[in-house]
Amino acid sequence: MNNQLKALVFCVSLGLLSCNNKVDCNHEQKEDKEKVSDEKLDRFGITNREYLSAASKRALQWEYVENDWYRDFNPMKPLKGDLAYEEGVVRRDPSAMIKENGKYYVWYSKSTGPTQGFAGDVENDKVFPWDRCDIWYATSDDGWTWKEEGPAVLRGEKGAYDDRSVFTVEIMKHEDMYYLCYQAVKSPYTVRVKNTVGLAWSNSPDGPWTKSEEPILQPADNGIWKGTKQNRFLVEKKGDFDSHKVHDPCILPFNGKFYLFYKGEQMGEEILFGGRQIRHGVAIADNPKGPYIKSKYNPISNSGHEVVVWKTQGGIASLITTDGPERNTFQWSPDGINFEIRGAVKGANMPHAIGLNRTVEVPDDNPTKIFDWGLSHVYNSWDYQSIMRFDSKRMTSHVAKGEDDSRKDDEE
One-character DSSP codes across 190-246: -TT---EEEEEEESSTT---EEPSS-SB---S--EESSSSS-TT-EEE--STTSSEE
Q: What confidence category does residue 326 fall into, taking pLDDT thresholds of 50, 70 and 90?
A: very high
Q: Which residues of 155-169 are buried (b: 16+ CB within 10 A; e: fewer)?
A: bbeeebbbebbbbbb
Region 300-311 average pLDDT: 97
- Domain boundary assignment for the chain: 3-61, 71-394
Ramachandran assignment for 168, one of left (phi > 0), alpha (psi -120 to 50 degrees), beta (any other): left
182: nearest Cα among 267, 296, 92: 92
Q: What confidence category does residue 91 fall into, taking pLDDT thresholds of 50, 70 and 90?
A: very high
Backbone angles phi, psi at 29, to 5 degrees: -60, -40
Measured distance CA(218)–CA(279) in Å, rounded: 16
CB within 8 A of 409, min separation 6: which ones? Answer: none
CB within 8 A of 29, min separation 6: which ones? Answer: 15
Q: What is the mean pLDDT of the chain?
A: 90
Q: Which of 32-41, 44-53, 224-233, 287-296 has the lowest mean pLDDT?
A: 32-41
More confident residue, 119 or 264: 264
Q: In this predicted structure, what is the pLDDT of residue 62?
A: 84
Measured distance CA(162)–CA(156) in Å, rounded: 5
Q: In this predicted structure, what is the pLDDT of residue 34?
A: 58
Superfamily of domain 71-394: Glycosyl hydrolase domain; family 43 (2.115.10.20)
More confident residue, 92 or 10: 92
Q: In this predicted structure, what is the pLDDT of residue 65?
A: 76
Percent of the chain with pLDDT over 70: 90
Asked if pLDDT for residue 3 goes beyond 60, the answer is no
Write out pLDDT tens, residues 382-406.
Answer: 999 999 999 999 988 887 887 776 6
More confident residue, 373 or 20: 373
Q: How far is CA 190 from CA 147, 187, 193, 232, 316, in A?
A: 35, 8, 5, 10, 35
The length of the chain in residues reads: 412
Write out pLDDT tens, residues 243-292.
Answer: 999 999 999 999 999 999 999 999 999 998 889 999 999 999 999 999 99
Percent of the chain with pLDDT over 90: 79
28: nearest Cα among 43, 10, 40: 10
pTM of the predicted model as reported, rounded to 2 decimal places: 0.90
180: nearest Cα among 237, 134, 112: 134
Q: Which residues of 2-36 are buried (b: 16+ CB within 10 A; e: fewer)?
A: eeeeebbeebeeebeeebebeebbeebbeebbeeb
Q: In this predicted structure, what is the pLDDT of residue 124?
A: 92
Measured distance CA(293)–CA(284) in Å, rounded: 5
144: nearest Cα among 392, 374, 384, 380: 374
Measured distance CA(307)–CA(331) in Å, rounded: 12
Q: In this predicted structure, what is the pLDDT of residue 407?
A: 54
Q: What confidence category does residue 61 fall into, taking pLDDT thresholds of 50, 70 and 90?
A: confident
Rank 35-44, 46-55, 303-312 by mean pLDDT and report only the highest: 303-312
Asked if pLDDT for residue 348 goes beyond 50, the answer is yes
